[in-house]
Amino acid sequence: MGVRAGVWDIFLPCPAPGLFVEMKVGKGRLTPGQVSFRDALLPYGYSFVVAYSWVDAAKAIGSHLGFTVDV
């Protein structure tokens, strides 16, 4: 459960402009607030990933930082 409605769970501010990661379980989907948050920031170059496991999140973060995560 996130802290603020609509804001994604994890944010890596660098390398700029940054990566947002939303953690979901099962068949979880983005809420309308999360979709609005993403859509408002996409024009500014931010990246967004929905991860369904810590492995997905680790790989996305590694990719954003320019390296491969082998788990």
- C-alpha–C-alpha distance, residues 60 and 71, integer Å: 12
Asked if 34 and 45 count as a contact pair (C-beta separation under 8 A), the reply is no
Arithmetic mean of pLDDT over the chain = 93
Kindly state whether residue 36 falls inside one of the protein's structural domains.
yes
**What confidence category does residue 71 fall into, taking pLDDT thresholds of 50, 70 and 90?**
confident
Phi-psi region of 36 (alpha: psi -120 to 50; beta: other; left: phi over 0): alpha
Range of the domain at 58: 10-65
Kindly state whether residue 17 falls inside one of the protein's structural domains.
yes
Kindly state whether residue 5 falls inside one of the protein's structural domains.
no
Kindly state whether residue 48 falls inside one of the protein's structural domains.
yes
Kindly state whether residue 3 falls inside one of the protein's structural domains.
no
Kindly state whether residue 71 falls inside one of the protein's structural domains.
no
Domain count, the chain: 1
Helix (H, G, I), strand (E, B) or coil at 69: coil
CA distances, 18 to each of 27, 41, 42, 65, 68 (Å): 26, 10, 11, 10, 18
Does the global pTM surpass 0.85?
yes
**What confidence category does residue 69 fall into, taking pLDDT thresholds of 50, 70 and 90?**
confident
